[in-house]
Structure 1
Amino acid sequence: MSEIRVLVVEDNPLQAALIQELLAQSIDTRFEIDTYENLETALNCLSKKKFDAVLLDLTLPDSEGLTTFIRMHEAAAGVPVVVLTGNDDWSLAAKAVEAGAQDYLIKGKIDGNRLARALRLAVKRTHAEQQEWNSPMLHLAQQQFLKAAQIMGLDENLRERLLFPQRTLVVTLPFRRDNYTQVETVFGYRVQHLLTMGPTKGGIRYHEDVGLGEVSALAMWMSWKCALMRLPFGGAKGGVRIDPTELTGHELQRLTRRYTMEIIEMIGPDKDIPAPDMGTDERVMAWLMDTYSQQMGYSVPTIVTGKPVSLGGSLGRREATGRGLVYMIEEAAKMLGIPIKGATAVVQGFGNVGSNTARLLEELGVKVVGVSDVSTGLYNPKGLSVTDLLQYAQDHRVLKGYPHADEVSNQELLELPCDILAPCALQNQITDRNAEKLNCKLVAEGANGPTSLEADEILKERGIFVIPDVLGNAGGVTVSYFEWVQGTQNYMWTLDEINSRLKKILTDAFQRTAGRSDSLNLDFRTAALIEGIERVAEAKLKRGLFP
């Protein structure tokens, strides 16, 4: 359940009590409320405590009218303000909206749903206005690109062209909750970074922090990843800003189908091919495929990859990202002289990528000593049974409470002694604040953007080898390519064929990156990025400029 911290400024104690009662009834959001009766006290509190939204009466003992809003709006500094006004003065509230208020509510005409939704939407809109391009993840992706472009001497025209995505689509879409009385409005995105190389390819992410900047960064990384693997795709990504764990299956299906309709003109088996990402899975891809096919009038399996095998999905796709990361770990271990059998590993994240990485490492004889998910971190220096962890997670949904390990924090997990550290959760996990404390020989990035540029420099100085995300987690898009090829040919491959071809493509990319790294004395991330960017630059120059 999400939480919103609200500053309520209301001098009528009965009205304030009613607001408290109405917000306490909210099922989907927990509201933490501070209430004050006058403006000066509220402004003083605002300077000392962080709030997500302000609910402001425009008639207070020490201030009235539009001046009340203006003073609060200036002091709030980016915190959305929803104003309260009487039925006889709604025009004043309208003026406040013109001056920057996110919404207004008429006293005597509000109910719990109206009040909670107004506050939720105010927070969402403000986040959209402030954060769409101001994304740490996009900043990191651009920094990495500019560093590589500088070293390789990339043409300035191409550098400017590739710094931002070629196409972006931002939509707001409604979907109905199961109670049939509540219709949520959420933000959705689809971004195509590069259209030069063929159809674009990239997953769809459902997460409460999804924004235009984050999706653009992921699309950019996907361009370099596809070029590095020599796949005939440009990079794309999509997402919806929502927490999927709070939705029922019916709500998730309605959301997916509506989102598909909002982006349907942008996607297609020869234009842009979605796939699963964080918060989505085979089931979501099946709904997307069905919705698209209904509009076309015939079945179009190649509109998505990562769908169920019974609908034309590929064997091996579900575990492809984790399997690809393990292939890269094997190659790096050979290069570094680390014996795989008997090595120790810590895996951050126990979703699809992390759990498969841990399972496949265990099969190779690696001792997995630490894992984590959103609920907790677990550590056992004698080794964890990944089979038991998978069963426990299936039975309890999360790892918290697992009895055969010590609980550790996320920060402590990253600093555990091990040979292999695999960050497979979220971005920005290894930074200049903790890079000095890592106690591993090899970092294998299963997540996108888990390591900052500053941390890269520290790890390089410490002699810790990094398998970068554009190489480490490329197994997913590679097997997605296999699925797309199988769908267009109507010819299915065996699992052995898929895994063999996956290993061949990834190993080739690793060796090319290693060669470039050695010849130019570069870290592996920069070498991998240059390998991908160079292919994109060549393709753009060969196609020329239109008109």
Structure 2
Amino acid sequence: MLILEEMQARGHEALTLLHHAPSGLRAALAIHSTVLGPAIAGVRLGAQDEQLAVRGALALSESLTLKAALAGLNYGGGACVLMMPEAGVDDPHAREALFRALGRQVRPLESRVVLTEDIGVSPADIAFVAQETPATLGVNTDTSSVTGYGVYRGMKAAARFALGSESMRGVRVAILGVGAVGRTLAGHLHREGARLTVADRRPDRAEALADQLDGVQVVAADQLLDSPCDIFAPCAYGHSIRSEDVPRLQCRLIAGGEHHPLTRRGESAVKEAGIIYMPDYAINAAGLIAAAQGTTPEQAAERVYTIINRITAVAEQYGKPVHIVARRMAERRIDLIGSLGHGK
């Protein structure tokens, strides 16, 4: 993996490796763009090696740039991927030390980056970061549940374009990943009468959800791609849909809360397969909007609904795939606002 070549190809500004031995901090911090403002960096924590952490930070930070731009926020995109310490973080003091160490390491960069929660990280963790640096967002926002509700509202807008109606009653939705975002999405869809099939790399989570919601079918994670459905909703950790697995998909629309479920090659493959793909940065922005602007969950989700409707209207008008329209809309705002330069 040639890091600088990949950064240049994606347009990244910086990649920093963070380390603090006593706390077990090992992290990759990527800043993709600060054209619109400081880079909002989603902080993730998981068991992974250095290469996966770096790849994840580069991909996630680019997604955050597009998300912030499309949502009309004056922020750029970043990502901070933490590798799980060998001793774990079950000890509350160890968890505090880990995130306070992160905050202290990021302090010199606080004019360029703002940290907020992502997978494996809670508002309480960001509160620890905030003890060491003011460069934080989302301490008082349950971003996962807000994001899940926003995905639900965005899915309805996308379904109106892809399926001819935004009603979810009787619509077959396959959800891959039932963590906080996936569970919230499933709950809203279930209340509207959608027919749900769910899977998770941790089968116990999928079974627990099925126990809570009547009529939910559970399948193994590696079998969900083969499940007949109208909408496939990836809500896992990233790159859930490999390019070579696209022919297995039996859906008409991909719309979920997961960051970068497809590579660029995968996007081309679903286009060739005639599947509509609503990109992650368009549909999963509600949590970021709520954290950045202090809006209510309902207001943030309605912003997502409006954004998706705008994307589909342009796609229909010009006969272009929605994922291409979404990217061009985000990039156009970055170009236009970036052309203004920095105010005095």
The TM-score bracket by the shorter chain reads 0.7 to 0.9
Instruction: Tell me whether 1:215 sits opposite 2:57 in the alignment.
Output: yes
2:3 is aligned, of 133, 137, 143, to 133
State the 1:215 CA deviation.
1.0
Q: 1:281 to 1:272 in 2, by over 3 A?
A: same
Number of corresponding residues: 335
2:159 is aligned, of 320, 324, 333, to 333
Partner of 1:324: 150
SS at match of 2:189: helix
Q: 1:132 to 1:375 in 2, by over 3 A?
A: farther
Question: What pairs with 1:190-339 in structure 2 (closer than 5 Å)?
Answer: 190-209=29-48, 210-242=52-84, 246-248=88-90, 249-267=92-110, 271-292=112-133, 303-307=135-139, 313-314=140-141, 317-335=143-161, 336-338=163-165, 339=167
CA contact (8 A) 1:376 1:409 kept: no
Instruction: Tell me whether 1:365 sits opposite 2:208 in the alignment.
Output: no
Instruction: Tell me whether 1:528 sits opposite 2:339 in the alignment.
Output: no
* Residue type of the alignment partner of 2:229: C
Determine the C-alpha separation between the residues in 1 that align with 2:264 and 2:27. 29
SS at match of 1:211: helix
* 1:331-389 alpha-carbon deviations (Å, 9 max, x no partner): 0122222441122222111212111111121122212222324346858xxx9454589
State the 1:319 CA deviation.
0.8
Determine the C-alpha separation between the residues in 2 that align with 1:481 and 1:378. 31
Q: 1:194 to 1:317 in 2, by over 3 A?
A: same
State the 1:535 CA deviation.
1.0
* 1:449-486 alpha-carbon deviations (Å, 9 max, x no partner): 11233333333233322211111211121111123xxx
Question: What pairs with 1:183-194 in structure 2 (closer than 5 Å)?
Answer: 184=24, 186-194=25-33
CA contact (8 A) 1:194 1:235 kept: yes
Partner of 1:445: 256
State the 1:258 CA deviation.
1.3
Determine the C-alpha separation between the residues in 2 that align with 1:452 and 1:166. 21
CA contact (8 A) 2:177 2:199 kept: yes
State the 1:432 CA deviation.
2.9
Determine the C-alpha separation between the residues in 2 that align with 1:441 and 1:454. 18
- RMSD between aligned alpha carbons? 2.9
Instruction: Tell me whether 1:516 sits opposite 2:314 in the alignment.
Output: yes
State the 1:244 CA deviation.
8.7
CA contact (8 A) 1:206 1:243 kept: no
**Between 513-522 and 351-360, the greater mean CA deviation after superposition:** 513-522
Instruction: Tell me whether 1:172 sits opposite 2:19 in the alignment.
Output: yes
SS at match of 2:159: helix
2:290 is aligned, of 463, 468, 479, to 479
SS at match of 2:55: helix
CA contact (8 A) 1:426 1:448 kept: yes
Determine the C-alpha separation between the residues in 1 that align with 2:311 and 2:85. 37
Q: TM-score, normalised by structure 2?
A: 0.86
Q: 1:460 to 1:236 in 2, by over 3 A?
A: same
State the 1:200 CA deviation.
2.0
Structure 1 residue runs without a partner (length 5+)? 1-130, 143-159, 177-183, 293-299, 308-312, 390-403, 484-492
* Residue type of the alignment partner of 1:363: R
Q: TM-score, normalised by structure 1?
A: 0.56
Structure 2 residue runs without a partner (length 5+)? none
* Residue type of the alignment partner of 1:321: T
* Residue type of the alignment partner of 1:133: I
Q: 1:506 to 1:520 in 2, by over 3 A?
A: same
State the 1:223 CA deviation.
0.9
Partner of 1:163: 10
* Residue type of the alignment partner of 2:136: V
Determine the C-alpha separation between the residues in 1 that align with 2:230 and 2:87. 34
State the 1:213 CA deviation.
3.4
Instruction: Tell me whether 1:538 sits opposite 2:326 in the alignment.
Output: no
Determine the C-alpha separation between the residues in 2 that align with 1:171 and 1:359. 38
* 1:206-239 alpha-carbon deviations (Å, 9 max, x no partner): 1233533321221111111111111111111112
Determine the C-alpha separation between the residues in 2 that align with 1:378 and 1:204. 24
Q: 1:245 to 1:414 in 2, by over 3 A?
A: farther
* 1:64-122 alpha-carbon deviations (Å, 9 max, x no partner): xxxxxxxxxxxxxxxxxxxxxxxxxxxxxxxxxxxxxxxxxxxxxxxxxxxxxxxxxxx
SS at match of 1:273: strand
State the 1:533 CA deviation.
0.6
More RCO (CA 8 Å, sep 6+): 2
Determine the C-alpha separation between the residues in 1 that align with 2:46 and 2:144. 20
SS at match of 1:534: helix
State the 1:306 CA deviation.
2.5
Determine the C-alpha separation between the residues in 2 that align with 1:245 and 1:529. 41
Q: 1:478 to 1:246 in 2, by over 3 A?
A: same
* Residue type of the alignment partner of 1:222: L
